[in-house]
Amino acid sequence: MSEVYENLIGGRWIGPTGDRRFERKNPADVTETIGTFPALGSEDADDIVDAALGGLAEWRTMKVLDRGRVLLQTAALLRERLDEIARDLTREMGKTLAEATAETSAAAAFFEYNGGLARAPEGDVLPDRRDDALVWTRREPIGVVVLITPWNDPLATPARKLGPALICGNSVVLKPASYTALSALHLARALHDAGLPPGVVNTATGSGSTIGAALASARGVAGVSFTGSNEVGAQLQGRAAGSSLRLQTELGGKNAALVLRDADLDVAIDAITSAAWGQTGQRCTSTSRVIVEEPLMDEVVDRLVKRAESLRVGSGLDPRVEMGPLVSAEQLDQVLAAVAEGRAQGAEVLFGGERLVDEDHRDGHFMAPTIMSTADPQNVAWVEELFGPVLTVRSASTPEEGVEFVNQSRYGLSAAVFTTDLRRAFAFTRDIEAGQISINLPTAGWDVHVPFGGFKESGSAFREQGVEGLGFYSRTKSIAMYGG
């Protein structure tokens, strides 16, 4: 019997009832069941939001330094439990144990950073034209916020939202992706054990189209912070339009790396390899397009093919493995179908492109690291976010053309340039339409205190992370006082 997990609602742990439950299997070995989770439905949304409203009154009036202490204690518990949590993350999502360990540590760092912000200024003191008068501002919580998160970074993404939401004094309903509910429940347990009052954080496992959609439009909800696909993001934007609901969306990416003729190729190949195939290409900031200035094209492709050939693919629990499985059979099928479509549209597959079905891989959703090549700006491999280990390469005849190709996307999340020419690097930071720009570094890997978010269809106006990350979760009140 696999373990049965419970949601945290109003300070109590509540398990599945009747057949309202779902199971999760290990994507590296589908013969192993990770656990059984409650499948909440639309009818549960109002009760969970009520539980969050119940927690709000105490939390928003608690001293910010006390709220900070709870977050710091949560971080300490996550670090204490790091081995267990990282192992569960690898088992349920598939990423390597090294990646899962780094993510658990990043989740703790989000609570440390935001716990530390308890000591930061809460507003400004402003001049007043009147005698003996003072004007100041203070940051207030917005109320109950619903956090809807995807499966690819199932600790870091909720922690990135929970930290600022809680330090600002909001209460929360967290709706995690169903593939990775266990990671979210580890976060909830750490918060609960750290002394968070009942109802301040509530979890709601179940399908996105039922409980997720119902929570996002439930009465009493002040804001929804969503990370996930553009399709669901657009549905949420449509529903929020014309209402006073605050909505933050972090959506897809089709991130490009531009390799210029003066690049240090050792640096470029290392960075592209890690950002393209790390986490099996399932990062919103993964590199999925590479543009190479013409004289270097053959050498860069040769070196990338060699790296793809040598990558060890397998269960993330095996310390020698460098790339785990895809998260699910559906995700694997979708990526393989997109590779086939790209090929049918004229792209060449230079390496990989297929599922791994030998004895070591047949029980998991494994795929070879893949390199495709196309000069067609309409090819699906160039246009669509495949969210898998697929890199699409093309050449550019000049640096200016390279910049044009990088910007040739509806997305604008992350981009990298590899060059030793400072002027080219500077021009890249100015001309690229993306929220995150790297010079001689990977497109992925942004620390917890660095403002993060996408341009164009990759995001919304609200940033995450850093002090800017507090903006979504707070509203500013201006106060004037006469003291004469």
Closer CB to ligand NAD, 164 or 208, in the complex: 208
Regarding 33 and contact with ligand NAD (CB under 6 A), the answer is: no
Q: Which of 251, 339, 383, 416 binds ligand NAD (CB under 6 A)?
A: 251
Q: Which stretch binds ligand NAD (CB under 6 A): 73-81, 108-116, 210-218, 269-277?
A: 210-218
Report which of 392, 386, 402 is spatially closest to residue 346, judged by C-alpha positions: 392
Residue type, 310: S
- CB burial class (10 A; 0-12, 13-18, 19+) of residue 456? middle
Closest approach, Cβ 4 to ligand NAD, in A, equals: 20
3-state secondary structure of 34: strand
Residue (of 283, 279, 281, 294) closest to 324 by Cα position:
279
- Neighbouring C-beta atoms of residue 287, cutoff 10 Å: 28
Q: Which is nearer to ligand NAD, 150 or 466 (CB)?
A: 150
Angstrom distance (rounded) from CA 398 to CA 450: 32
Q: Cα–Cα distance between 73 and 175 in angstroms, integer?
A: 23
Alpha-helical segments (H) within 311-436 = 329-344, 380-383, 399-406, 422-431
Our finding on whether 191 is near ligand NAD (CB under 6 A) is no
Q: Which amino acid is at 422?
A: L
- Within residues 435-474, the interface with ligand NAD by CB under 6 A covers 454, 458
The count of C-alpha atoms lying within 13 angstroms of the C-alpha of 91, restricted to the half-sphere facing its C-beta, is 16
Closest CA to 414 of 287, 296, 329: 287
Name the nearest CA neighbour of 322 among 333, 307, 332, 336: 307
Beta carbon nearer to ligand NAD, 288 or 373:
288
Q: Judged by CB under 6 A, which stretch of 90-98, 108-116, 208-216, 313-321 contacts ligand NAD?
A: 208-216
* Residue 284 among the catalytic residues: yes
Q: How far is the CB of 301 from ligand NAD (least distance, A)?
A: 26
Indicate the residue among 234 and 265 with the shorter CB distance to ligand NAD.
234
Determine which residue in the list 349, 368, 413, 437 makes contact with ligand NAD, applying CB under 6 A. 413
Nearest residue to ligand NAD, scored by beta-carbon proximity: 208
x/- letters, 211..230, toward ligand NAD (CB under 6 A): -xx--x----------xxx-
- Kindly tell me which of 154 and 342 has the beta carbon lying closer to ligand NAD: 154
Choose, from 103, 250, 384, 457, the residue flagged as catalytic.
Answer: 250
Residue 364 vs 454, nearer CB to ligand NAD:
454
Per CB under 6 A, contacts with ligand NAD among 106-165 are 148-152, 157
Catalytic residue, from 103, 284, 384, 464: name it: 284
CB of 282 to ligand NAD, least distance (A): 8
Instruction: Please tell me whether residue 459 adopts helix, strand or coil conformation.
Output: strand
d(CA 307, CA 302): 9
CB-count exposure of residue 31 (10 Å: 0-12, 13-18, 19+): exposed
**Is the CB of residue 393 less than 8 Å from the CB of residue 304?**
yes
Is residue 342 part of the contact set for ligand NAD (CB under 6 A)?
no
387 binds ligand NAD (CB under 6 A): yes
CB of 118 to ligand NAD, least distance (A): 25
Residue 36 or residue 227: which is nearer to ligand NAD going by CB? 227
Vertex 268 angle, CA 97 and 389, to 5°: 45
Q: Does 175 contact ligand NAD by CB under 6 A?
A: yes
Strands 455-456 and 348-351: unpaired
Give the active site residues.
Answer: 250, 284
By CB under 6 A, name the binding residues for ligand NAD.
148-152, 157, 175-177, 208-209, 212-213, 216, 227-229, 232, 235, 250-253, 284, 385, 387, 413, 454, 458
